Amino acid sequence: MEYKKLGTSDIDVSAICLGTMTWGEQNTEAEGHEQMDYAITQGINFFDTAEMYSVPGRAETQGSTERIIGTWLKKTGKRKDIILATKVTGPSVPMRHISDNLGFSRPRILEAIEGSFKRLQTDYVDLYQMHWPERKTNYFGQLGYNHQADDAWQDNFEEAIGTMNDLVKEGKIRHWGLSNETSWGIMRTCAVSDGKGLPRPLSIQNPYNLLNRSYEVGLAEMSIRENISLLVYSPMGFGLLSGKFHKKIDTPNDRINKFKQLARYNSPQSYEATARYIAIAESAGLTPAQMALAFVNSRTFVTSNIIGATSMVQLKENIESIHVKLSSDVLAAIDVVHKEISNPAP
């Protein structure tokens, strides 16, 4: 396993992070425990979750992923062996089952962290993230920004940042970060933090994969120059980049098939680009999954690649991607496809 510093901290996190959002929906508690057991043996020390998980978010399963992690922590006593990240939910009408006051007000953040502590069976979190912005902006599948004049959002960066840093002072969280943020959101957060003499966010968790390289426009430079770690989610494009859908070996239980509302990677352009990426991988003697993950791992602005799996076979293949180094010819071929079918799944 490889390790990198998390932002400006002295924390070394594994370059592969164990994503957990399927636990409690597509995976049982026992399967989640098996994945964590195996990940630890492979040198993974970084686990990511959220109060709204499992996915898709719904009242019946909300918090199930944190509870599964919590029972594993209690059973194994390995809390100090892992870097644990979770998230407070941004405003969203479909997520009202979590709270009537979703967002990043001080009362909501405090309510959310205490709920996570209870489910995770811990009294601190290493990285606490704001799951998506409160304002109306381009995230979750929106490539371009269209200003919405009816956005009722009131700038409360100071309240959110102050609350996060109070939690740091109290020892409840070690660091904090953002997720699904834009370039403006990150730099506004940094400016407010600097103005108040408070620590900046340590990380940003955004999507990045062969079908969505929009992070490279603006945000990648920000990660490097401001030393704010990118934690990549959806590196496999909901499993499309594995090639199983093109090879007709998918099952009704695969995420894209089971949850039709998760349509971010379902466009004809995404399928065409993926077919071409599969051909590149196979001509290089790689599996499509190995190439897709190795590409993400190779980016200089990526700190950790959050993998997810519903089976141990998938998990083992995904973790093995850390040992795959792509040749210059493969990278050049990938860029040809990207230029011709650019960001089909933003």
Question: Which residues neighbour 278 within 8 Å (Cβ) at sequence distance 6 or greater?
Answer: 243, 246, 288
For the chain, give every domain's residue range.
Answer: 3-237+301-320
CB atoms within 10 A of CB 188: 14
Is 11's pLDDT higher than 90? yes
**Which of residues 156 and 255 earns the better pLDDT score?**
156
The pLDDT of residue 44? 98
What's the pLDDT band for 35 if we cut at 50, 70, 90?
very high
pLDDT, position 254: 84
Question: What's the pLDDT score for residue 153?
Answer: 92
**CATH class of the domain whose range is 3-237+301-320:** alpha beta
CA angle 231, 240, 329 (to 5 degrees): 75
Q: Which residues contact 289 (CB under 8 A, 6 or more apart)?
A: 236, 241, 242, 243, 314, 317, 318, 321
Interatomic CA distance for residues 310 and 31, integer angstroms? 8
Structure tokens given for 314: 């998938």
Please report which confidence band the pLDDT of residue 328 belongs to, taking 50, 70 and 90 as the band edges.
Answer: very high
Answer for the pair 297, 236: CB distance below 8 angstroms, yes or no.
no
Only one residue has tokens 């399967």, namely: 31
The residues that are catalytic are 53
